[in-house]
């Protein structure tokens, strides 16, 4: 994709630009900062926030009940002792991958197109990881003892059990959260300064002022800013790979057929990016419509993201194939039964749904027309999100419900509280997101300005 | 463009940054101090009892053997707290009308138990057995401290798991000859000598360093 | 439980009295608190915990919220984040003798089932009975026990027990009660009727005789559902009087059971199971002489499941089968009036030949609920086969007064209806609930002028009586009783009555001028009057008897009786089964709650029944063929009509159940059964009439269209009509190697076994053992292991309840069982092989395997489950945070999780019951079988103090000690001479899922069947 930027150098106007024509520094700044500063609160936004917030309250209710009565309110049982909680955890973590990928890896790869989507992609990552982070705590039998999982000097002279992947999770996820947060905030500073300078209201000035930490845009500031972002990008890049690898260890370390698989790390990471980009599309498409940002988040962006999805989707497909192949190739009766159980066991419909959502339907993305069709793309992104959720369900629940000893096989049925917890996290996610698009620049002003600058320069040369 | 903030805010902003670090550290320290404080562990805290029973007087000055009252210490997990009868064996003869002892007499008269305040209490999920410790040469004072000096009984150790492991990991540091187990004034040899003695006793009494969970937790 | 404490002579009566009077219920707690610091106290510190409300229902109310929030807070406390509460120490004022705080005592006594006594040892912690074991000295136990013995401890501490004398619904006192009855002495017993259950107690028998002598006009009736009327009548038919039959299964090569579940119910079943198992022992390899068991029955029972040949026939057709067999074994008998086409003559002939080939070493035994004639036939067969005097012996009846109890009750009902009854005294029993429906006992009862009831509960009968006096439980009263062979056991109290309970002895005494005498005086003086020994000599005898739990030499002498020549003509033929396609109803006592006496016992309610694995319910049990023909399947809610009476109940398919026959278990559908007993199941007594008390032909079954949900612990019981899941899961489980064989249960016939003694070995297992990059841990000292002999196990469930009792395992309720959250640490898996209509059945008891490479250990993030130096897989509850990863990663799925706060912190009386040496688990904590680590530690401490090693057999796990067939053996596998090591050395020894290289410490001895080559089933 390195060619993307280069064919601009031909003196003609780019037929498929990554930023709409006629944009200058001012127009960009005005357009983006206006959404936060001058634009009145729209009923649409309030309505959305309300729905999200009520879902958040549902989450509150569920968590309270959970603390009072115990995890028994969920459908989990022996043998299926992990259910929705872990499915959702893995799913949200996965979604949280696009952000860092876009801002870190693509930054290092000098992909210009990333600039106009990285900000809210990062925000999305942050919120998704928050949602994900709750589940490992909530699903514990005695959550108030969560600190047993952390190494700290204590009068019991005990440590966590470092062979357990669950302990690795604690570190992986918390590190990921911290780094993404830093990355996101550092990126925000110059924009916050802009908002500070443009804000009319005193309070707004104060708040943005504090947040921008005295940014004056001096050369020194800029050079430090650049170094910081580069360093963070460097830090974040391995995380993109490591986090979901560690998460996949939660299963591969186990001996349950359907968990104990070496293909997991790569295909979990691919899957994560897959769902991550799907989620970015799910968010970007409506937003650019409502806030008329088609000229900043152009059809070209959507097209590129669709391509990324197609690519990662194929990796995931490969993962499924290998999984099935190895099951039979292994000659291990338990593995074989596990696969047969997926194909035509009691949960088979879900498995086939997963296959169609993640493999068959996304093949439409091969066609450019589909990639350019915003509505269709939006639907596709939803399908993939669902597919990826199903993938985790298949891996966790189907494998557990029928393992080694038939006498203790058992079906897992989610209770209403399982659903409440799931829907609740959407509440948390979207509440945060709605607040974000209202109070922070959802597109990086600075970087888009940079983009304008570069494109203009190129024009100048011709 | 007018300044929003006064220069001084620079200082504040720096302060908050360093302050955050300091506060987190302080918090940790505070928690640690509380966890180790007598208020929390009840170590060396005198408990008021219905009768101001003095181990110093009975075990120390009078030199009554521990087992005279704590009869089951060699046979059972529980050392045994003396029934009123035991008190009365002497106090029906001496101090027969000391007002201090009225509760004891009352208890015997009305067949109503005395209610002592527990000094050394372990959590419900910990199973401690006196008899085996005594049998392996762990002295009373090793855990219960200078009991013969205590006018009112108090907890000598924190009773934390670490406190138990202290000895379970290196019994040689604390073992004493069986003959000395019930000696409230036993004075262990210093440093190297004790280790030497301890090692010898470990072999002699077949003392293991038991550290697996089910040793104490079931 | 070292030998000395076993055999501790605990019978200094003065001390005992002192102790017991000193320990009335309220004071008991006080003195118990005196033991704070001993583990006992831990039960009590749970006063700190607010009660649990979480019993599965996900609805909540404000109070629960607060309570449970507090509970969570308190639980957090356990993690040393809040201060421990201040505790009190409340010592004795005057210490009782013998009691050593922290050391249990064991007392020998007896418990009763249908009047028959079984000897037990009861563990007592400072005056609290906490656990029941078998009594090795007692012929009916030999150290083993059954589910009812084990669960009795829960009934004893049951908070629902009747707690005070009641008159007309108002609280009254024993004094008034005694006075009221005392006044009746003057009437010479006119219009006085006494209804008791079966009585084998010599003392009570003597008292009754005395009473009848004193009050000649009084009448004594007996009624008990499972009193074995037809056994009695069968004997009367054959021998002219109701003799008692004693079997010697250890000497029987061929056993034919006609609908008899002799291994898990009926007199002496614990002993019989042991004797039977000795002939299933294969320690001699292929050379061993196995017995062969034929079972013909309608409903698959534990006995049927271990048989070598099982023939599913309708209970009504047993009569025909018996006649054919009798004819085959040379008894002159006319063929049945209603010959059944369902009986394969080839089978009968083969069995006949086999019997003939084993004259003098065979047994024909008949089920209690078969008509008298069939019993008589069996007697005749045993005589004809020369078994009498060898495998079958006769004694006089063990009962104080053997009568036909159904007739006895009929007589009483007639008297009631004709208004002749002034005073009706009901001692134990619950006839309003369990009398035959056609007697309409409730109505009849109310025609008595004065109705007095004494029982453990204020049950359906108590409700309709003027007076109710709480009965004393066997564990808190003096009495005696005879075992299956007549051996008299003494019943001694372990504690003063918790509530104002009095024994039947004390009540009868009110009429015989012994008023006011204590149970102890009555029992002791009776024996004093019976024995030649006097004074000192008697004193000694008495003490040994109390210590041993039985009076030596009281086993009834063997008598020789010969069956009448023409008994057949005397006997009424069986209830005509009529047209063989008509559906018969068979009534059976429930395998778990019996005739209903145990229906308030939550342990038994939640116990998965043999074969069906059903909990908390009874059902209309039927075979797949019948179900197919009726178009019903498990869970269909049906209406069953029988001679104008009807019940609605759920259908439950049982592979191997006879066609055209449905089985209804009794003991459910109580209306006043207590908090647990009221509710579960349906009342099948409503269909049960005196004319057909056990087998009733001509049932009409119709669908209601509704559904009923059962809670079974094995999913495969939701079988479709084609029974597909059974086939799939079982074939996946059973069968050797192969792509779809998981090889969980390894089976061979005796023939195959002698061909290939190591058939159970799977070469791959051996290969896998080496596959590890870590050097194996070297176990110096002890290495604990267990061996379970599938050839001995009869699936009686005793181990399950024993474990529950020993380890304070919580009960979770039907809803939670249905959600797959049952808590049993040891479960008995059941598998089938072959066709649905008559499959082979296999048991597999499954405790924690204590793997050496335990998959649960390395996934626990907090190290709450760790391996110890003796190979135990420790579970540290207080460290567990409940991620449940260990359970997911356990291939055997033996780990149990407290999804809610299952342990009852609310009911004080349960504190008394709990084992003080085992932590009571709170919510959110994983638990599992620990090999009874508390017993291991106790033994270790003892041995260390005595400077010796633990002897082989010194540690007996709860499941092992309960097991009547000695199928479970525990010990040190590092010691090549230990019993367990020897068993593991057998060629039949194999580990479950060993191909996973988990290296389980619990291994199995493969099952070997001994089929008759002449029969191809």
C225-251 pLDDT, tens digit per residue, is 988 899 999 999 889 889 999 999 999
* pLDDT of A173 higher than 60: yes
Among 3.40.109.10, 3.40.50.1000, 1.20.1630.10, 1.10.10.1800, name the CATH number for the domain at A25-143+166-458.
Answer: 1.20.1630.10
Same domain, B16 and B71: no
Domain limits of chain A? Answer: 25-143+166-458
The chain C residue lying nearest A405, using CA atoms, is C892
Q: Is residue B173 part of a domain?
A: yes
* pLDDT of C6 higher than 50: no
For residues C32 and C933, give the distance between their C-alpha atoms in angstroms, rounded to a whole number.
Answer: 24
Do C941 and B124 count as a contact with CB atoms less than 8 A apart? Answer: no
* pLDDT of C78 higher than 50: no
Q: Is residue B45 part of a domain?
A: no
Chain A contact for B5 (CB, 8 A cutoff): yes
Same domain, B67 and B128: yes
DSSP one-letter string for C420-452? --SEEEEES--HHHHS-GGG-HHHHHTTSSEEE
Pick among C717, C826, C846, C862 to test the A interface (most A CBs inside 10 A): C862
Do A155 and B161 count as a contact with CB atoms less than 8 A apart? Answer: yes
For residues C732 and C908, give the distance between their C-alpha atoms in angstroms, rounded to a whole number.
Answer: 46
Same domain, B64 and B157: yes
User: How close does chain C come to B209, measured CA to CA in Å?
Assistant: 11
Handedness of CA C285, C287, C289, C290 (dihedral sign): positive
Of B40, B85, B115, the CB nearest to C94: B85
How many CB atoms neighbour CB C87 within 10 A?
18
| The two structure tokens encoding residue C35 | 């033991």
Same domain, B12 and B77: no
Of B76, B83, B218, the CB nearest to C95: B83
For residues A34 and C710, give the distance between their C-alpha atoms in angstroms, rounded to a whole number.
Answer: 64
| The two structure tokens encoding residue B93 | 């003869």
Q: How large is the average pLDDT for residues A193-200?
A: 87
Q: Which of residues 153-192 of A touch B (CB under 8 A)?
A: 153, 155-158
Q: Which of C673, C588, C806, C818 is nearest to C151 (CA)?
A: C806
- Class of residue A449 by CB neighbours under 10 A (exposed 0-12, middle 13-18, buried 19+): buried
For residues A127 and A436, give the distance between their C-alpha atoms in angstroms, rounded to a whole number.
Answer: 10
* pLDDT of C5 higher than 70: no
For residues C912 and C86, give the distance between their C-alpha atoms in angstroms, rounded to a whole number.
Answer: 21
Hunting for tokens 């199973």 — which residue is that?
B127
* pLDDT of A11 higher than 50: no
Same domain, B25 and B63: no
Q: Is residue B97 part of a domain?
A: no
The chain B residue lying nearest A198, using CA atoms, is B1
Of B10, B35, B161, the CB nearest to A157: B161
- Asked whether the beta carbons of A278 and A124 are under 8 A apart, the reply is no
For residues C26 and C31, give the distance between their C-alpha atoms in angstroms, rounded to a whole number.
Answer: 9
C809 phi and psi angles, rounded to 5 deg: -80, 135
Residue C579 confidence (pLDDT)? 61
Q: What are chain B's partners, defined as 3 or more CB pairs within 8 angstroms? A: A, C
Q: Which of residues 914-953 of C touch B (CB under 8 A)?
A: 917-920, 930, 933-934, 937, 941, 944-945, 947
**What contacts A201, CB < 8 A, 6 or more positions away?**
none
Q: Which residues in chain C are contacts of A78 at CB distance < 8 A?
A: 820-821, 887, 893, 895-897
Coil, helix or strand at residue C136:
coil
Q: Which of residues 170-189 of A touch C (CB under 8 A)?
A: 170
A105-114, Cβ contacts within 8 angstroms, sequence gap of 24 or more: A105/A233, A105/A237, A105/A240, A107/A229, A107/A230, A107/A233, A108/A233, A108/A234, A108/A237, A110/A5, A111/A1, A111/A4, A112/A4, A112/A5, A112/A18, A112/A451, A112/A454, A113/A4, A113/A18, A113/A300, A113/A301, A113/A304
Range of the domain at B21: 8-36
User: How close does chain C come to B194, measured CA to CA in Å?
Assistant: 23
Q: How large is the average pLDDT for residues A56-61?
A: 94
The chain A residue lying nearest B163, using CA atoms, is A155
Hunting for tokens 């003196």 — which residue is that?
A11
Chain B contact for C102 (CB, 8 A cutoff): yes
Q: Is residue B77 part of a domain?
A: yes
For residues C265 and C627, give the distance between their C-alpha atoms in angstroms, rounded to a whole number.
Answer: 28
How many CB atoms neighbour CB C710 within 10 A?
21
Pick among C60, C740, C899 to test the A interface (most A CBs inside 10 A): C899
* pLDDT of C724 higher than 90: no
Chain C contact for A153 (CB, 8 A cutoff): no
Q: Which of C805, C886, C883, C803 is nearest to C851 (CA)?
A: C886
Pick among C82, C85, C102 to test the B interface (most B CBs inside 10 A): C102
For residues C176 and C171, give the distance between their C-alpha atoms in angstroms, rounded to a whole number.
Answer: 11
For residues A355 and A352, give the distance between their C-alpha atoms in angstroms, rounded to a whole number.
Answer: 5
| Extended strands (E) in C474-531 | 479-482, 488-491
β-bridge mates for residue C990, sequence order? C1004
* pLDDT of C92 higher than 90: no
- Asked whether the beta carbons of C607 and C615 are under 8 A apart, the reply is yes
Between C519-530 and C202-214, two packed helices, what is the crossing angle to 10 degrees? 90
Do B113 and C91 count as a contact with CB atoms less than 8 A apart? Answer: yes
Q: What Rg, from alpha-carbon coordinates, does chain A have?
A: 23
Same domain, B74 and B166: yes
Percent of chain C with pLDDT over 90: 59
Percent of chain C with pLDDT over 70: 87
Q: Is residue B101 part of a domain?
A: no
Q: Which of C704, C686, C697, C703 is nearest to C583 (CA)?
A: C697
Handedness of CA A170, C902, C151, C654 (dihedral sign): negative
Of C715, C879, C923, the CB nearest to A410: C715
Rounded to two decimals, the pTM is 0.89
Pick among B36, B112, B113, B202 to test the C interface (most C CBs inside 10 A): B113
Largest CA distance in chain C: 89
Pick among B1, B2, B3, B4 to test the A interface (most A CBs inside 10 A): B4
**What contacts A52, CB < 8 A, 6 or more positions away?**
A426, A427, A429, A430, A431, A433, A434
Residue A441 confidence (pLDDT)? 87
Q: How many CB pairs under 8 A join A and B?
A: 26
| The two structure tokens encoding residue C574 | 């069986």
Please write the tens of the pLDDT for every residue from C646-661.
999 999 988 899 989 9
Number of domains in chain B: 2
Of B36, B158, B165, the CB nearest to A157: B165
Do B13 and A155 count as a contact with CB atoms less than 8 A apart? Answer: no
Chain C contact for B131 (CB, 8 A cutoff): yes
Chain A contact for B1 (CB, 8 A cutoff): yes
Do B83 and C91 count as a contact with CB atoms less than 8 A apart? Answer: yes
Same domain, B26 and B124: no
Q: How large is the average pLDDT for residues C389-410?
A: 92
- Class of residue C408 by CB neighbours under 10 A (exposed 0-12, middle 13-18, buried 19+): buried
Coil, helix or strand at residue C785:
strand
C424 phi and psi angles, rounded to 5 deg: -115, 120
User: How close does chain B come to A159, measured CA to CA in Å?
Assistant: 12
Do A214 and B10 count as a contact with CB atoms less than 8 A apart? Answer: yes
Of A156, A197, A213, the CB nearest to B13: A213
Do A403 and C893 count as a contact with CB atoms less than 8 A apart? Answer: yes
Q: How large is the average pLDDT for residues C334-341?
A: 72
User: How close does chain A come to C891, measured CA to CA in Å?
Assistant: 6
Same domain, B23 and B129: no
* pLDDT of C8 higher than 50: no
Handedness of CA A272, A273, A278, A281 (dihedral sign): positive
Q: Is residue B154 part of a domain?
A: yes
For residues C402 and C390, give the distance between their C-alpha atoms in angstroms, rounded to a whole number.
Answer: 25
Q: Are strands C645-653 and C840-846 parallel, antiparallel or unpaired?
A: unpaired
Same domain, B160 and B187: yes
Cα–Cα–Cα angle for B84, B87, B88, rounded to 5 degrees: 85
Same domain, B134 and B197: yes
| The two structure tokens encoding residue B68 | 């005279």
ipTM of the complex model: 0.91
Q: Which residues in chain B are contacts of A196 at CB distance < 8 A?
A: 4
Please write the tens of the pLDDT for every residue from A374-392.
999 999 999 999 999 999 9
Chain C contact for A404 (CB, 8 A cutoff): yes
Q: Which residues in chain B are contacts of C930 at CB distance < 8 A?
A: 214, 218
Same domain, B32 and B71: no
Q: Which residues in chain B are contacts of A209 at CB distance < 8 A?
A: 4-5
Please write the tens of the pLDDT for every residue from C850-873.
999 999 999 999 999 999 999 999
Do A72 and C733 count as a contact with CB atoms less than 8 A apart? Answer: no
- Asked whether the beta carbons of B175 and B136 are under 8 A apart, the reply is yes
- Round the average pLDDT of chain C to a whole number and report it: 84
């Amino acid at each position: 994709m390195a060619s993307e930027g280069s064919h601009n150098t031909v003196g003609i106007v780019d037929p498929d630009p990554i930023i709409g024509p006629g944009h200058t520094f001012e127009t960009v700044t005005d357009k983006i900062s206006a959404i936060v500063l001058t634009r009145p609160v729209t009923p649409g936004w309030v309505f959305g926030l309300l729905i999200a917030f009520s879902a958040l309250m549902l989450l509150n209710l569920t968590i309270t009940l959970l603390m009072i009565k115990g995890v028994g309110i969920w459908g989990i049982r022996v043998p299926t002792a992990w259910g929705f909680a872990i499915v959702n955890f893995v799913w949200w973590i996965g979604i949280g991958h696009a952000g860092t990928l876009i801002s870190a890896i693509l930054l290092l790869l000098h992909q210009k197109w990333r600039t106009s989507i990285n900000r809210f992609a990062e925000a999305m990552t942050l919120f998704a990881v928050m949602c994900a982070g709750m589940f490992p705590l909530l699903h514990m039998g005695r959550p108030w003892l969560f600190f047993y999982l952390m190494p700290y000097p204590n009068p019991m002279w005990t440590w966590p059990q470092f062979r357990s992947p669950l302990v690795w999770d604690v570190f992986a996820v918390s590190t990921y959260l911290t780094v993404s947060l830093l990355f996101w905030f550092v990126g925000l500073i110059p924009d916050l300064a802009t908002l500070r300078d443009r804000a009319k209201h005193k309070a707004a000035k104060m708040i943005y002022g504090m947040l921008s930490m005295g940014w004056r845009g001096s050369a020194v500031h800029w050079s430090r800013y650049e170094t910081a972002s580069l360093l963070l990008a460097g830090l974040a890049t391995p995380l993109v790979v490591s986090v979901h690898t560690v998460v996949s260890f939660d299963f591969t370390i186990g001996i349950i057929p359907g968990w104990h698989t070496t293909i997991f790390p790569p295909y979990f990471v691919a899957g994560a990016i897959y769902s991550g980009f799907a989620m970015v599309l799910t968010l970007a498409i409506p937003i650019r419509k409502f806030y008329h940002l088609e000229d900043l988040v152009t059809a070209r962006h959507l097209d590129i993201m669709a391509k990324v999805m197609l690519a990662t989707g194929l990796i995931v497909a490969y993962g499924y194939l290998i999984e099935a192949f190895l099951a039979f190739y292994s000659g291990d009766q338990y593995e074989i039964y596990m696969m047969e159980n997926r194909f035509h066991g009691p949960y088979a419909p879900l498995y086939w749904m997963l296959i169609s959502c993640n493999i068959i339907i996304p093949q439409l993305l091969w066609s450019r027309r589909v990639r350019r069709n915003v509505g269709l793309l939006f639907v596709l992104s939803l399908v993939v999100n669902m597919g990826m959720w199903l993938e985790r369900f298949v891996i966790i629940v189907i494998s557990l419900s029928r393992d080694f000893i038939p006498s203790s096989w058992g079906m897992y049925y989610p209770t209403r509280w399982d659903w409440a917890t799931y829907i609740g996290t959407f509440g948390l996610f979207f509440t945060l997101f709605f607040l974000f698009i209202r109070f922070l620049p959802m597109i990086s002003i600075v970087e888009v300005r940079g983009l304008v600058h570069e494109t203009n320069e190129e024009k100048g040369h011709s | 463009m007018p300044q929003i903030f006064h220069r001084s805010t620079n200082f504040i902003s720096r302060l908050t940054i360093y302050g955050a670090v300091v506060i987190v550290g302080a918090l940790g320290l505070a928690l640690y101090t509380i966890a180790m404080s007598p208020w929390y562990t009840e170590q060396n805290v005198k408990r008021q009892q219905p009768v101001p029973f003095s181990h110093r007087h009975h075990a120390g000055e009078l030199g009554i053997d521990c087992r005279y009252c704590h009869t089951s210490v060699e046979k059972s997990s529980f050392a045994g707290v003396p029934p009123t009868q035991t008190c009365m064996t002497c106090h029906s003869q001496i101090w027969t009308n000391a007002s201090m002892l009225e509760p004891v007499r009352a208890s015997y008269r009305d067949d109503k138990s005395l209610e002592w305040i527990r000094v050394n209490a372990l959590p419900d999920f910990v199973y401690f057995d006196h008899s085996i410790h005594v049998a392996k040469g762990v002295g009373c004072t090793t855990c219960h401290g200078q009991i013969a000096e205590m006018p009112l009984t108090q907890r000598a150790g924190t009773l934390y798991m670490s406190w138990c492991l202290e000895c379970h990991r290196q019994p040689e540091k604390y073992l004493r000859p069986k003959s000395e187990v019930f000696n409230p004034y036993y004075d262990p040899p210093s440093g190297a000598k004790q280790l030497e003695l301890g090692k010898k006793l470990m072999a002699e009494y077949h003392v293991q360093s038991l550290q697996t969970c089910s040793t104490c937790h079931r | 439980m070292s030998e000395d404490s076993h055999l501790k002579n605990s019978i200094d009566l003065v001390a005992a009295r002192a102790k017991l009077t000193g320990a009335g219920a309220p004071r008991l707690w006080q003195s118990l608190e005196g033991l704070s610091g001993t583990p006992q106290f831990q039960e009590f510190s749970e006063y700190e915990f607010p009660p649990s409300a979480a019993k599965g229902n996900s609805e909540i109310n404000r109070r629960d919220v607060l309570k449970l929030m507090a509970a969570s807070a308190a639980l957090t406390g356990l993690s040393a984040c809040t201060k421990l509460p201040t505790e009190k120490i409340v010592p004795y004022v005057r210490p009782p003798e013998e009691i050593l705080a922290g050391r249990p005592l064991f007392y020998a006594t007896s418990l009763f089932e249908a009047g028959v006594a079984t000897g037990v040892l009861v563990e007592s912690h400072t005056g609290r009975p906490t656990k029941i074991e078998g009594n090795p000295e007692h012929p009916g136990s030999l150290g083993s026990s059954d589910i009812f013995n084990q669960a009795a401890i829960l009934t004893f501490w049951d908070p629902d027990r009747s707690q005070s004398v009641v008159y007309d619904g108002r609280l009254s006192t024993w004094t008034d009660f005694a006075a009221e009855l005392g006044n009746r002495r003057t009437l010479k017993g006119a219009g006085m009727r006494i209804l008791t259950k079966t009585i084998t107690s010599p003392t009570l028998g003597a008292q009754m005789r005395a009473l009848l002598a004193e009050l000649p006009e009084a009448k004594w009736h007996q009624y008990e559902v499972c009193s074995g009327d037809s056994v009695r009548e069968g004997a009367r038919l054959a021998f002219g009087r109701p003799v008692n039959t004693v079997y010697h299964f250890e000497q029987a090569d061929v056993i034919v059971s006609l609908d008899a579940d002799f291994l898990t119910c009926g007199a002496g079943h614990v002993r019989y199971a042991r004797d039977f198992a000795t002939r299933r022992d294969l320690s001699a390899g292929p050379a061993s002489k196995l017995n062969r068991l034929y079972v013909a029955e309608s409903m698959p029972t534990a006995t049927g499941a271990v048989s070598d040949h099982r023939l599913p026939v309708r209970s009504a057709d047993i009569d025909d089968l018996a006649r054919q067999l009798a004819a085959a074994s040379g008894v002159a008998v006319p063929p049945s009036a209603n010959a059944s086409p369902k009986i394969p003559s080839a089978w009968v002939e083969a069995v006949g030949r086999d019997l003939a080939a084993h004259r003098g070493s065979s047994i024909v035994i008949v089920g209690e609920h078969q008509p008298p004639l069939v019993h008589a036939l069996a007697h005749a067969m045993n005589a004809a086969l020369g078994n009498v005097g060898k495998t079958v012996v006769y004694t006089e009846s063990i009962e104080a007064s053997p009568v036909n109890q159904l007739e006895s009750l009929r007589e009483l009902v007639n008297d009631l209806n004709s208004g002749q009854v002034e005073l009706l005294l009901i001692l134990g029993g619950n006839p309003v609930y369990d009398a035959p429906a056609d007697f309409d006992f409730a109505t009849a009862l109310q025609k008595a002028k004065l109705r007095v009831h004494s029982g453990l509960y204020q049950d359906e009968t108590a409700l309709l009586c003027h007076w109710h006096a709480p009965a004393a439980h066997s564990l808190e009263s003096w009495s005696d009783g005879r075992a299956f062979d007549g051996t008299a056991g003494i019943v001694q109290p372990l504690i003063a009555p918790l509530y104002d309970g009095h024994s039947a002895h004390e009540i009868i005494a009110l009429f015989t001028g012994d008023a006011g005498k204590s149970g102890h005086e009555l029992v002791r003086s009776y024996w004093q009057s019976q024995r030649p020994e006097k004074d000192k000599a008697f004193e000694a005898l008495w003490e040994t008897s109390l210590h041993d739990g039985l009076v030596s030499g009281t086993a009834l002498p063997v008598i020789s009786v010969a069956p009448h020549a023409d008994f057949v003509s005397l006997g009424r033929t069986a209830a005509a089964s009529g047209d063989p396609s008509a559906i018969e109803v068979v009534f059976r006592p429930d395998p778990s709650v019996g005739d209903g006496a145990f229906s308030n016992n939550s342990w038994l309610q939640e116990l998965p029944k043999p074969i069906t694995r059903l909990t908390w319910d009874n059902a209309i049990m039927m075979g797949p063929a019948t179900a197919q023909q009726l178009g019903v399947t498990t869970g269909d809610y049906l209406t069953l009509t029988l001679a104008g009476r009807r019940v609605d109940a759920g259908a439950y398919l049982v592979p191997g159940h006879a066609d055209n026959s449905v089985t209804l278990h009794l003991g459910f559908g109580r209306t006043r059964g207590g908090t647990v007993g009221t509710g579960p199941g349906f009342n099948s007594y409503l269909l049960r009439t005196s004319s057909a008390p056990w087998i009733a032909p001509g049932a009409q079954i119709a669908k209601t269209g509704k559904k009923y949900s059962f809670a079974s612990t094995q999913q495969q019981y939701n079988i479709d009509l084609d029974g597909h899941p059974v086939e799939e899961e079982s074939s996946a489980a059973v069968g050797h190697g192969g792509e779809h064989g998981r090889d969980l249960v390894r089976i061979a016939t005796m023939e195959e076994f002698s061909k290939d003694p190591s058939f159970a070995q799977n070469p791959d297992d051996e290969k896998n053992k080496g596959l590890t990059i870590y050097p194996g841990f070297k176990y110096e000292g002890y290495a604990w292991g267990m061996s379970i002999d599938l050839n001995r196990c009869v699936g009686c469930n005793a181990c399950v309840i024993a474990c529950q009792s020993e380890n304070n395992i919580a009960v979770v309720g039907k809803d939670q069982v249905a959600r797959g959250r049952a808590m049993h640490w040891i479960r008995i898996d059941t598998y089938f092989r072959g066709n649905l209509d008559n499959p082979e059945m296999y048991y597999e008891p499954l405790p924690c395997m204590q793997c050496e490479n335990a998959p649960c250990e390395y996934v626990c993030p907090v190290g709450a489950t760790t391996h110890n130096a003796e190979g135990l897989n420790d579970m540290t509850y207080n460290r567990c945070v409940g991620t449940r990863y260990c359970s997911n990663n356990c291939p055997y799925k033996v780990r149990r999780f407290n999804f809610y706060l299952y342990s009852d912190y609310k009911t004080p009386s349960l504190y008394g019951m709990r084992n003080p040496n085992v932590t009571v688990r709170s919510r959110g904590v994983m638990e599992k079988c620990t090999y009874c680590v508390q017993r291991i530690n106790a033994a270790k401490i003892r041995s260390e103090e005595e400077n010796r090693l633990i002897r082989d057999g010194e540690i007996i796990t709860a499941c092992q000690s309960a097991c009547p067939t000695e199928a479970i053996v525990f010990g040190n596998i590092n010691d090549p001479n230990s019993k367990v090591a020897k068993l593991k050395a057998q060629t039949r020894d194999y580990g479950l899922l060993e191909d996973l290289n988990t290296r389980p410490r619990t291994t199995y001895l493969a099952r070997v069947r001994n089929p008759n080559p002449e029969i191809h089933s």
